[in-house]
Every structure is written in C-alpha cells, then in structure tokens.
Amino acid sequence: MTQTGQFSEDIARVLDMHGIPFSTEDSRYFRILRAVSAHHRTKGCNYLNIITIPIMSHNLEEAILQSEAVGRHAGMPDTVMITQDRWMRAPEAVTSRLLAHLGIFRSIFARDCEVRKISRKEADGFLEKNHSYGGASSRYCYGLFLARDRVKETGGLYGERPASGTMVAAAEFSNARRWIKEGKEIRSYEWIRYASLPDTRISGGMGKVLQKFISDIHPDDVMSYADLEWSDGQAYRQLGFIPDGKKAPVSFRIDQSDWLRIPIRPAGPATPPQPHITLPHGTDSTSRHRTLPCEDTDTLYFRNAGSLKYRLRLY
C-alpha cells in the first residue's frame, strides 16, 4: 500500500464506522474520498470530496509539486482537505469536524447563545483544542455561550452533549491598523480566529460574534482569511464580506517526531549559504522557532494551499 493509501485508510475507517458510502480516486500526491453527505444519503446526491494529503516530500521542490497538484482542488465547493500532520496531532478533533461537514453534528441556533468578552487565555485554551491553528496573538476575544439548552442532534454522535453555560465557540480579533483615505482615518481590524466545538454547528454564530465586535469597537473595516483546506469562503460572503485577494501558500518543515509545522523563511538574494537554517516564530501555536540541520532525515516538507482574503467595509 502506498503512503497515500496508508494515511487514507484511517479516514476511510471513520466513514465506514458511521455508515457513510464513499468511493476512492488515487493520485500520486493525494487521494480523493467521495463521500455521500448524511443529509442526502437517501437521495444519492450531495457528495463531499475529502482530499487526504500525506506529508511525503523530502525536499521543498517535491512539496511545491504536491502543492500545485492539490491546489487544483483548493477552495472548490463541497471539498475539504485533511493533511497527515493535522490528523496525527488531533485525530478526534479532525474526525468531528469532518463528520460535521458530512451532516453529522449538533445544531445550535445563535439566538440560544450569548456573546461575552473573554480573556485571551480563555480564548487560546478553547482554540488550542478546536481550531486547526490554535490561538493567535490578538487584542479582542469573545466567547459564545449556550444560554438555552435546545441542542438538536443530527446523525450518530457519541460525545457529551453541551450543557447551558458551556462555551461553544470563540473568536479573536486584532488591534487596529490605521491609515488615511480621502482625508479620513480608517481603523481596520483582522478577524484572526473563529471556531466552534468541532462536532457542533451554530447557525448564525459567526454573525452574532461579528455584530458584538462591531457594536463594541466600531471598526471602519474588518478583514479575515478563509483557509482553503476547509473553506471556500462562503461563510464570509454570507456575512457581507467581499473577496480582496489571496494569501500565497506557505512552505513548512515538519518534524515527524511531533508533526509540528515550522514555517520556512524565504532566503534573500544576499543570504549566504549556512550549515543550519534558523526558522522564525510562526503566527500560530502549531509553529515554533527552531534551528534544524539542512539534512534531516526526520524532517519532511509541505506547502499549504494558501488562503482567500475577505474584507467587510463599514465606512
């Protein structure tokens, strides 16, 4: 069995366990599991394309070739991408998130929740467990708390049902970035993180958090990024955000001992050859500063699909 097949078998077993029909299509760099959404299983329609991506490249050139092949599927409707490193670090969270995309989740209405400011420590603690990139450096943090226990379950879930008072989602926003436009100072903020419990969909949750932030801070502009591994940006478009470019793919070293992503700093034209490469601090908790030898047999390379940039203009 190829490395792609070995990694995909774990995902296939999850689908089998929940009785989800699927077909497979192999590629040199990834495998596609075409699964039927639980909502429409009886109709035989509405498929979800699950792209399973092994971490397999032994140099950056191979990683770029893999990224280009996978990138043809990035941001497509009804498509999610699961990379081997994310699976190895948090299989339960990834499983819950995948099942939610397949229609097996707890449903909560935002009207049954309340938004409150929380500390960065509280937000980071929640996001470490429930967001692919963990917490981030932020200025404003909010939690969405279940106020009325009217949770609806769809499909077969085995986890504990959230009780009233439980934080079911968290969000982080940056401090203001300021510039002058047409003689007016514009204060722009980045919506850095949003995540709910991985087995939970909160209808209207993102909108409720955003409106609370706007009411509290009165921004002129809010921007954010949609991760192309899991999203096509539809949630932002529904909130009134408009496309505003794309964030280029980022290359990483990944140590197989802990599966942490370590972003690679692009070498400048005047950078002399060095026996070791010093890597910078990442912008999220799954990256870290480390000096690694150039030849490291335990290290693999990966380049992600990039992100779509969205902006909400309020001025």
Q: Mind listing the pLDDT tens digit for each residue in 59-92?
A: 999 999 999 999 999 888 889 999 999 999 888 8
Has residue 126 got a pLDDT over 60? yes
**What's the maximum distance between 2 C-alpha atoms anywhere in the chain?**
63
Contact 143, 124 (CB under 8 A): no
Q: Helices in the chain by DSSP H: which ranges?
A: 3-17, 60-71, 84-89, 91-101, 120-130, 205-217, 234-238
Amino acid (1-letter code) at residue 276: H
Banded model confidence at residue 93, pLDDT cuts 50, 70, 90? confident
What whole-number distance in Å separates Cα of residue 128 and Cα of residue 123? 9
The residues, ordered by sequence, that sit 6+ positions from 242 with a Cβ below 8 Å of its Cβ are 310, 311, 312, 313
Assess whether pLDDT exceeds 60 at residue 103.
Answer: yes
pLDDT tier, 280 (very low <50, low <70, confident <90, very high otherwise)? very low
> What is d(CA 133, CA 139) in angstroms, rounded to the nearest whole number?
17
Q: Is the pLDDT of residue 306 over 50?
A: yes
CA distance 176 to 134: 22
pLDDT reported for residue 246: 92
Q: Is 311 helix (H, G, I), strand (E, B) or coil?
A: strand
The pLDDT, as a whole number, for residue 116 is 97
Provide the CB-side half-sphere exposure for 51 (13 A, CA). 27
pLDDT score of 296: 57
Write down how long the chain is.
315
pLDDT at residue 281, as a whole number = 35
Whole-model pTM? 0.81
Look at 170 and 3; give whichever has higher pLDDT. 170
Q: Span 254-279, mean pLDDT?
A: 66
Mean pLDDT over each residue of the chain, to the nearest integer:
85
- Please check whether residue 228 is in contact with residue 303, taking contact to mean a CB–CB distance below 8 angstroms: no
